[in-house]
Structure formats: C-alpha cells, structure tokens
C-alpha cells in the first residue's frame, strides 16, 4: 500500500518563486502506530531544506511575455520537485502554484494569461495531480495567505495539540504577522469579548485529526497591499521626490541610506556625475523613522471601528492574551545584520534600535568594507546592506505605531538570556513564545512558511471523516458549510469516508497489523474457493473423485457432508456422471470439421446438424427416444463435455463411440446411484432398442 503522500507548493511571490515539497504518512498507516494523543492531532507534515528551491524574479515579470514563463521559469522548479518525489508517486502528488501580491498588482488580462500558460506547461511537462487549474493554479487573496500562515505557525508551535496548555489567560493560539515585498498580513484569534462583538468579521477554519474528529477556529485575518517592504520603499521615494520639488532636482537627501551612498530611484548605485535624479544618503536614522511614519496612513477614514492602518477594520487586540510571531522580513530585518554582527545576542527594543542607528550612521565606504570581510555573515551582500536601514525603520513603525505591539522588546523569550529565535526550545510546551512579539524563521528545523499551512489543510482533508462529517476548509463564520466555503482541492465529495475495502486491505497487508498473517491466509482461502467454483462442474467432479480416492473408504462420507455440498455432488441431486475408459476420447475434445467428423459407424456428417445430432439419428432408436440440444462447452458449472440442456426425457440414454464414453442416467431420488464403468458396458439399457451387432 501507499506509505507516503507528497505535495508540491510553489509560492509565486513578488521577488521570486520558491518551490516547497512536503510529505506525510498516509492516514491509515499513521493511525496504526499512533498513540491516543497523536490520534487527536493533525497529520505530521515533514520537509527538508534541500527540498526547497527559489529562483528570481517573480512570475509577474512575465506579463509582457507570458509564453516564456514555462521554459524560462517553471522548468527549473519542476525538475527540482521531480528529483525529490519518487516517480511512482508523482501521479498522485497534488501540484499548487499560488501567487501572492506581485500578481495581484497586475491587470486581470495579464494575470490570466500568465496563469493559463502555467497551467498548460505543468500539465504538458509533468504528471502531477492538477485536476482543476482554477483551484491549483491561482492568485490567492492576502487574507488567504494570512490564514495559511496562521495555520503554519500554530501547527509548528503545537497550538493544535489536544493537550496544549494555554500560554496565557486560556488562550491557546498565537497571532501571525507576515511581511513580504508587496503586502503585509495579520491573523489572530480575538479574545472572547471581541470575538462575540465582531463575529461577522471572523473566518471559520475547520481541520480534521487523525481519528476523524474536527477542530474549529474563528480567526480574524486581514492584509494590506503595498505595505510590503518593496512597495513601501516605492511609496517613500515618490513622497520625498515630491517634497523635494520634482524631477528637476538632481540630488535628493535620503536619511534612510548610509551616508555617502548614492542610488537611483529604484535603488541601484549611481555615480555623482550620472546626470540623472538620484538619492544621496545622509545616515540619519531618526529622520528616517519620522519620514516613514506617514506611510502607515493612520489618519485614513475608518468606516468600521476600530481600524489600524489605511482605514482597515481590525478587532481590538488584547496584548494580555494575544502573542504574535512574525516571519519573512520581520525575521530577516531583525537578524541578518543586527544579530550576526554581535557576540551578545540579547537585546530588547532599545538595544535593537541602537544597533540600527550605529549601522546606518556609518559611511558607505566602511559598510562596504564590512560586507567584504563578512562582518555580518556570508548572506549579507551590498544590496542587502543598502536596503536594511529603510527596512528597519519600516518594521519598527509597522510593529509599534501601526499594529500597536508594546515596545517592551522584540526578541525576549521567557527563561532565555538571548533572543531564542534560532535556538527554539524543541518540544511541546517548551516551544512557547511568551513575549508579545517574536520573530521566527524556523521551528524545529522547519521553515515557517504559509505554504506549510496550505499542506496541513490539504492533508487534513484526506483523513476519513469520523462522526462529525463536516468538510475541511474555511469560509464565512456560519454554522455548517457556508456558501463561500473553500475546499483544499477540487470540491468533489465533501467528505471522505473509509471504505470496508480499505479496512480489509489494512488487515491483510498492513505491516503493523497483528491480523496480517491470519488475514492473509483467509484471503488466500477465499481466492481458492472462488477459483474452484469458476472452474466448472465438470472439473469440480474430477477434483471430487480425486479427493474420494485420496480419502479411501472414508471418501463415501465426503459427498454426504460439507464437501458434497461445496462440490455440488450430493447423491440426492440429479446429475449426469461421465465415465471414461482409460485412454478414451473425451467428448469435449471432438473435432467438428473435416474427415474426423465421420464416425466408425459409417454415418455421414450432415452440415446442417451438429456432430452429435448426426449420430443420434442412426444410433438411437426405440419408442422413447429422448430429444437433446447439444452446445459447445462454455466452461459454466452446468455443462458436461459439450454441454446438455433442454432435456425433455431423462429416462435413460447410452451413446457409443470408440471411447465407449457413457452418459449414465440419473437414478430417482432416494435410490443408490449407479456409477457407470467400462466393466459394465455389456449391460443394455431397458429403455433403448438393441443396436445392430448387439443382439
């Protein structure tokens, strides 16, 4: 049976596309060795770092050449996935390409052309399972991306475990923050008061445990397009260009760049004599914080109170119970430079801001030297060093002035003297993040990516339903299955149930099943019985006689007991027995054409009649000649030799040929049967006229 199931997810972001391969135990296999606690948990999803690969740029850059997205972009990613997944499992492996903010910024026409090309290329260049391109290859809303991220983070933090202890005031789950290049997401479960007050704003999420039981959560999710670091930088540059007087000004001071660094409006290094309008770094981080704050748009009208950013409604966040983890830029911006360059990795918000100030106030020449010496690690290149000051200011504003996270500290974990994000305590309750905000990249060596949340949902949907047959997925916060309910894959049957066949298959072939050996023997016995009944009555009779000979004198009891019932040869049932002299010719083997159709009796073959009908007219005589219809043996259980049907008179019959084969009349019910034998061939049937030569 299938042991592993796989899934391939492509995160088609604004800056590039990353392929993830995940696998998990098939649900029936997982249940065999699961403990009671594990049965109340979600499937265990596994992945490896080498199963992941990212390429640049994003698929949104193919808007003007959609036909090239396959050979120039997808080919490398498909090859990587196919190298990971066993060939025999590819056809059962679902493939998803889910695009995010970069594709959301395109027009409908450009977006649909790219998605159509992706669908065609994947189907023609792989055997992955893509039953419906509208579901498996699509641009997902920011809210869906945020919900998947919320699932992934809480899954890795064991928040879905049955015996999970609340981290504070009865709250079991963590809030989720994600920031990419083009958008930012927020997802959390409000406290009870806010959940009741804003019930219509929540999303119903339903998952299924290994034992078929259901988990339900009501999550608030929102997304801000153009609030990712790249789009925020674009808006920032437009604002300072406008404030400086427009494109006529050639040099525009930029406090978010290190002193002495000159870049174009799109962030590329330029020389002082380039002649085009460019930005000149001043290295004043305090001013950078002030100039990025207006990008939050905190003063926008709020039609549905309360709001956080850009007039977007968000239920009030209770930081006494709501704890948040942040991924993507929240991690990279707070760690790649501002952690790696220091031996002492413990810092609070003030320490973090001091390190950013110290870095960004350096001359660009000093930073270049530090990059070449790998002072901040091998992953930090000049491009990242140029961008990090703006990113740091944007992250600080988003977290504290935007979302409202208290400025207690960015990276303080309970019981730890360092930030704890790379050295996450490994299991169960020890995974808890008890600070208000914690930036993470990996938990238990697994990257926290929203793609994992998608796979958790999909794998959960494959588990057979228990007593609660509600489907897995998410939609509006309504009982049952809301009209906008979204399924993890094609809709099809909303509930998967374990069939009797699957149960038997596990009993017979499951490697861990204690019933495997007796179950297999039972299976073989059933096969033998089926083959026996399919072999026909004639062959069953031969087997019966062999068994009777084998058992000797006791064989006479065989046809009166269970064996006789199984063989269909009980004495009180009417039947014809074929008795063939040793070396004789079986009637079932007679040829029906050519010279061989003539018998030694000299009767000519009549083509309008069967061979036996031609002989019957000359061999049979007497007032009680029976009428027969002979048919070719079709192997059914009701035929003997050539087969006999529609017998109108069964008082008796003897046919004679060179093999001296007899069809012995059945004796009336209740009398002893008389088995025909070559030694009794001289006897004549009392109901037939004597044949010539036998007077």
Query: Could you list the active site residues?
Result: 145
Backbone angles phi, psi at 236, to 5 degrees: -65, -45
Beta-carbon contacts of residue 643 (< 8 Å; ≥ 6 apart):
630, 631, 632, 633, 634, 636
How far is residue 279 CA from its own chain's centroid? Answer: 49
Structure tokens at 75: 């080919």
Check: CB of residue 207 under 8 Å from CB of residue 456: yes
Beta strands 175-179; 183-188: pairing state: antiparallel
Three-state DSSP at 141 gives: coil
Check: CB of residue 576 under 8 Å from CB of residue 653: no
Beta strands 437-439; 278-281: pairing state: unpaired
First to last CA, the chain: 72
Using alpha carbons, list the distances in angstroms from residue 478 to 204, 218, 454, 468, 484: 7, 10, 22, 16, 10
The DSSP 8-state label assigned to residue 181 in this structure reads S
Q: Which residues of 469-500 are buried (b: 16+ CB within 10 A; e: fewer)?
A: ebbbbbbebeeeeeeebebbbeeeeeebebee
Distance of alpha carbon 20 from alpha carbon 96, whole angstroms: 10
- The CB density around residue 108, as the number of other CB atoms within 10 Å, is 7
How far is residue 373 CA from its own chain's centroid? Answer: 45
Distance of alpha carbon 183 from alpha carbon 231, whole angstroms: 8
Q: Which residues of 247-284 are buried (b: 16+ CB within 10 A; e: fewer)?
A: eeeeebebbbbbbbbbbebebeebeeeeeebbbbbbbb
Beta-carbon contacts of residue 6 (< 8 Å; ≥ 6 apart):
21, 22, 23, 85, 89, 92, 93
306 preceded by a cis bond (ω within 30 of 0):
yes
Check: CB of residue 567 under 8 Å from CB of residue 544: yes
How far is residue 334 CA from its own chain's centroid? Answer: 35
- The CB density around residue 602, as the number of other CB atoms within 10 Å, is 7
Distance of alpha carbon 651 from alpha carbon 669, whole angstroms: 13
The DSSP 8-state label assigned to residue 669 in this structure reads T
Q: Measuring CA to CA, which residue among 142, 69, 27, 74 is closest to residue 506?
A: 27
């Amino acid at each position: 049976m299938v042991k592993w199931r796989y899934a391939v997810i492509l995160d088609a972001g604004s800056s590039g596309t990353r392929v993830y391969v995940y696998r998990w135990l098939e649900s029936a296999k997982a249940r065999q060795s699961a403990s009671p606690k594990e049965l109340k948990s979600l499937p265990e999803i596994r992945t490896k770092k080498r199963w992941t690969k990212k390429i640049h740029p994003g698929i949104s850059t193919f808007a003007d050449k959609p036909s090239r997205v396959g050979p120039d972009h997808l080919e490398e990613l498909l090859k990587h996935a196919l190298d990971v997944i066993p060939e025999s499992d590819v056809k059962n492996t679902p493939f998803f390409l889910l695009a995010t903010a970069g594709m959301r910024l395109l027009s409908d026409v450009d977006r649909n052309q790219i998605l159509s090309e992706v669908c065609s290329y994947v189907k023609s260049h792989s055997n992955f399972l893509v039953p419906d391109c509208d579901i498996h290859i699509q641009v997902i809303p920011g809210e869906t991306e945020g919900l998947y991220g919320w699932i992934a983070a809480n899954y890795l933090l064991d928040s879905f475990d049955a015996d999970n202890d609340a981290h504070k005031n009865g709250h079991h789950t963590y809030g989720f923050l994600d920031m990419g290049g083009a958008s930012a997401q927020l997802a959390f479960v409000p406290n009870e008061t806010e959940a009741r007050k804003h019930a219509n704003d929540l999303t119903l999420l339903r998952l299924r445990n290994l034992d078929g039981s259901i988990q339900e959560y009501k999550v608030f999710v929102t997304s801000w397009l153009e609030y990712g670091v790249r789009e925020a930088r674009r808006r920032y540059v437009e604002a300072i260009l406008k404030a400086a007087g427009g494109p006529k000004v050639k040099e525009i001071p930029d406090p978010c760049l290190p002193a002495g660094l000159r870049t174009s409006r799109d962030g590329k290094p330029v020389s002082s004599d380039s002649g085009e309008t460019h930005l000149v770094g001043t290295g004043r981080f305090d001013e950078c914080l002030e100039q990025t704050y207006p990008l939050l748009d905190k003063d926008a009208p709020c039609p549905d109170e309360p709001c956080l950013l850009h007039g977007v409604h968000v239920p009030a966040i209770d930081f006494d119970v709501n704890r948040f983890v942040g991924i993507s830029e929240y991690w990279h911006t707070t760690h790649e430079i501002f952690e790696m360059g220091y031996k002492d990795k413990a810092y609070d918000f003030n320490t973090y801001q001091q390190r950013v100030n110290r870095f960004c106030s350096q001359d660009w020449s000093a930073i270049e030297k530090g990059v070449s010496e790998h002072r901040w690690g091998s992953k930090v290149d000049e491009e990242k060093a140029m961008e990090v000051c703006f990113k740091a200011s944007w992250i600080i504003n988003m977290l504290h002035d935007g979302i409202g996270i208290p400025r207690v500290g960015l990276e303080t974990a309970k019981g730890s003297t360092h930030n704890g994000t790379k050295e996450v305590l490994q299991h169960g309750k020890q995974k808890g993040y008890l600070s208000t905000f914690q930036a993470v990249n990996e938990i238990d060596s697994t990257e926290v990516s929203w793609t994992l949340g998608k796979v958790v949902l999909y794998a959960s949907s494959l588990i057979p339903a228990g007593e609660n047959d509600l489907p897995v997925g998410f939609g509006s916060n309504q009982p049952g299955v809301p009209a906008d309910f979204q399924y993890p894959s094609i809709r099809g049957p909303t509930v998967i149930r374990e069939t009797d066949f699957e149960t038997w298959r596990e009993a017979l072939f499951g490697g861990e099943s204690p019933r495997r050996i007796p179950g297999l023997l039972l299976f073989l016995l059933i096969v033998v019985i089926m083959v026996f009944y399919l072999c026909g009555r004639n062959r069953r009779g031969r087997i019966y006689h062999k068994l009777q000979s084998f058992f000797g004198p006791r064989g006479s009891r065989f046809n009166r007991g269970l064996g006789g019932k199984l063989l269909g040869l009980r004495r009180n049932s009417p039947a014809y027995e074929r008795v063939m002299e040793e070396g004789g010719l079986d009637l079932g083997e007679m040829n029906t054409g050519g010279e061989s159709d003539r018998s030694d009796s000299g009767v000519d073959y009549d083509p309008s009649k069967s061979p036996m009908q031609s002989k019957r007219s000359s061999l049979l005589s007497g007032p009680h000649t029976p009428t027969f219809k002979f048919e070719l043996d079709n192997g059914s259980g009701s035929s003997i030799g050539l087969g006999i049907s529609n017998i109108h008179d069964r008082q008796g019959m003897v046919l004679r040929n060179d093999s001296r084969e007899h069809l012995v009349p059945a004796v009336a019910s209740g009398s002893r049967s008389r088995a025909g034998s070559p030694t009794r061939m001289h006897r004549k049937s009392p109901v037939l006229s004597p044949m010539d030569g036998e007077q």
